[in-house]
Amino acid sequence: MSQKLFGTDGVRGTANSEPITAESALKLAQAAARVLVRDHSSTKVVVGRDTRASGEMLESAIAAGLASSGIEVLLAGVIPTPAVAYLTVKNAAAFGVVISASHNPFEDNGIKFFGPTGYKLGDDDERAIESEFDHPQSGKRPIGKGVGRIRQFREATEAYAEFAASTLPETVSLAGVRIALDMANGAAFRTTPTVLANLGAEVDLHYAAPDGFNINVDCGSTCPATLSRIVRQSGAAFGLAHDGDADRVLLCDEHSSALDGDELLAVASLDLIQRNQLHKKTLVATVMSNFGLDDLLHKHGGSVVRTPVGDRFVMDALVQLQLNLGGEQSGHVIFRDFVTTGDGLIAALQIICVVLRTGKSLSELRQVLHKYPQVLRNIVVREKVPFENIGVLNSKIQEAESLLKGKGRLVLRYSGTEPKARLLLEGPDSSELQQLASSIAEEFAKYVGP
């Protein structure tokens, strides 16, 4: 059975259009309860959301669906996605639910689940939920005292903030360090500033006034130019930005130059290698990450394992291979010694710890990664037609791959969360990459462009 509801990161869509409607959210919550609670002793579920206005509607529907299934619902309110993963485990809940569309526009929303161990659900669980959603196996619902209760989980934010701070050595202090923050008007608008301020940092806070509609609007980790501007104006030691649900992080050095996820992985992996703490001297990255990472790890006796795009695939590899560091170029950086999913705040804290431990600035630390030139094109599409069915696209791709053979690579894939195709070319000659990218993108747009 093919998965129709679940994409690469839960269920996504335009809020108040199927499948992201109140009716479907309630039904999905009931299906998840039937599948995920049947083999679990707990009947508690943690629910969190980002700052989108539609999250209020979906939160109510999901809470109602869970309560009608006999679940004790803990509403954590606006809180980062990774906080729900942590709180699910801490409170011995059967599962966790996050209402968020991450870096997408406010019009979108999504629903994703964490299992009792804090990891995202596997394909088998998602297929089982989807099957139950389409064809419910039991219509019997609890009555009387069996109906679930819904309560506000008021201590959720404080509990997560304390946990995040605890991932740093007690000796670490940010006293006197000025940090510019761009919170994307999203889920971390309280947690990240609170943690950094409690550690002694001088916080210069921006985009931390969510109104339900301004999440990710010209701000956050997908808008590095905004963070660069803030750092220039602030004179901060560095800048930090999250996406809407704060499972990503973008850092900016003291010269207002942004570091992407690959550079953060380079800094973190080299630090762990030098302290003999990178498990098997192996880093997990996706097919989109720069091959300069491979050169760096090989130089220091290590290696890189590649996965498909998506932090879930990175985490799967980390678990299966018993590794402790992985991530994506987009800013998902997973320090598995502390977390079970991408966590933008904890990733930032670990990089900050490297800065403090070494006494080096971010501009110095980032020099360890020598990147291959890359060209990335995001092509808006009206439908996701199989690539092999699109005109002479294949011949264009084969021509490019032939030119890059032995010195670069080409990756073309559809986004799992947006109506876009993503084209990546990497090689030694940036002008050649630009020409190849334009040729392929133009051909692609002829057939499936908007």
Asked if 293 and 265 touch (Cβ cutoff 8 Å), the reply is yes
Query: CA–CA distance from 416 to each of 7, 14, 208, 291 (Å)?
Result: 6, 14, 28, 23
Q: What is the DSSP letter of 367?
A: G
3-state secondary structure 144-169: HHHCCCEEECCCHHHHHHHHHHHCCC
DSSP readout, 28-58? HHHHHHHHHSTT-S--EEEEEE-S-THHHHH
Q: Are 297 and 305 in contact (CB under 8 A)?
A: no
The helix/strand/coil state of 390 is: coil
* DSSP designation for 338: T
Phi, psi values for residue 412, rounded to 5°: -125, 125
Burial class (CB in 10 A: 0-12, 13-18, 19+), 171: exposed
Bridge partners (DSSP) of residue 10 are 7
Where helices occur in 248-392 by DSSP H, the ranges are 261-274, 292-299, 311-321, 344-358, 362-365
Q: Do 167 and 349 touch, CB atoms closer than 8 A?
A: yes
The token duo for 368 is 């360890």
Based on the residue annotation, tell me whether 173 is a catalytic residue of this protein. no
Strand partners, 182: 206, 241
Out of 69, 100, 102, 221, the active site residue is 102
> How would you classify the pairing of strands 178-182 and 108-114?
unpaired
Q: Would you say 325 and 334 are in contact if contact means Cβ atoms under 8 Å apart?
A: yes
Distance CA(331)–CA(244), nearest Å, equals: 13
Structure tokens at 430: 């940036």
The residues annotated as belonging to the active site are 102
